């Protein structure tokens, strides 16, 4: 994977997962937890996210082949999905494609919400899985896959740090500050989605690109 593609993957995953939007839900799900218990949830959730996306990265293209879906078809469909998520971020409202309130409420009833709903679907959800498959398809080399896995690990580390600072962020940044960052992420994500759609269309119809 080229450096440019790796950077695009990093920005896309960070925008889709948007750690700041996870903060209030994380605090609600872990209300009454000790500091040590919260840290355990954070480590478990981010590790589960990492493993899930790494597996999707390696097996995603093969799954598309099994179902007879071309990567260009997937780029267009994935781009539309991500664009819808971007619109939700621009409105600073939670996307129901990422999670629904019922899932958060159900997760609160479990002793450990790390796997569900934090890791899946809030972190490793449809949008992030789609992004990993599309960007992972751009490389077939072992080095490229290793770089992509590294990108996923870095994003997971940033999410973990954000959640460790959740109380401070909620107090100091506030709702307004989080919404500003969320809208900026939405704008970036919308641009990535449009690029993904156009790339899929050009791949399906080379004559549109003069090929």
Q: For the segment 19-44, what is each residue's pLDDT rounded down to a tens digit?
A: 888 888 899 899 889 999 999 999 99
131-146 pLDDT per residue, tens: 999 888 877 678 888 9
What confidence score (pLDDT) does residue 105 get? 55
> Nearest Cα to 163, choosing from 47, 34, 49, 21?
21
User: Is 8 buried (19+), middle (13-18) or exposed (0-12) by CB count in 10 A?
Assistant: buried
pTM above 0.75, yes or no: yes
Could you check whether the bond before residue 34 is cis, i.e. omega within 30 degrees of 0? Answer: no
Most confident of 1-5, 106-110, 172-176, 199-203: 199-203
Give the model's pLDDT for residue 193.
Answer: 92
The mean pLDDT of 150-166, rounded to a whole number, is 96
- Residue 16 contacts residue 189 (beta carbons within 8 Å): yes
Report percent pLDDT > 70 for the chain: 88
Q: How confident is the model at residue 181 (pLDDT cuts 50, 70, 90)?
A: confident
């Amino acid at each position: 994977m080229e450096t440019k593609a790796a950077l695009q993957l990093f920005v896309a995953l960070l925008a889709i997962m948007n750690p700041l939007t996870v903060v209030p839900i994380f605090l609600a799900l872990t209300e009454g937890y000790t500091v040590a218990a919260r840290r355990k949830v954070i480590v478990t959730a981010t590790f589960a996210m990492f493993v899930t996306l790494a597996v999707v990265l390696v097996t995603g293209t093969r799954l598309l082949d099994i179902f007879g879906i071309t990567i260009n078809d997937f780029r267009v469909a994935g781009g539309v999905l991500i664009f819808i998520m971007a619109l939700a971020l621009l409105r600073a409202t939670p996307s129901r494609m990422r999670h629904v309130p019922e899932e958060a409420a159900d997760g609160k009833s479990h002793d450990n919400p790390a796997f569900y709903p934090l890791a899946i679907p809030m972190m490793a959800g449809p949008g992030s899985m789609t992004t990993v498959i599309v960007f992972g398809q751009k490389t077939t080399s072992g080095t490229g896959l290793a770089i992509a896995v590294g990108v996923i690990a870095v994003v997971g580390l940033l999410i973990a740090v954000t959640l460790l600072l959740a109380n401070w962020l909620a107090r100091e940044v506030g709702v307004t500050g989080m919404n500003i960052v969320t809208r900026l992420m939405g704008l970036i994500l919308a641009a990535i989605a449009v690029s993904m759609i156009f790339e899929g269309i050009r791949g399906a119809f080379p004559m549109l690109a003069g090929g």
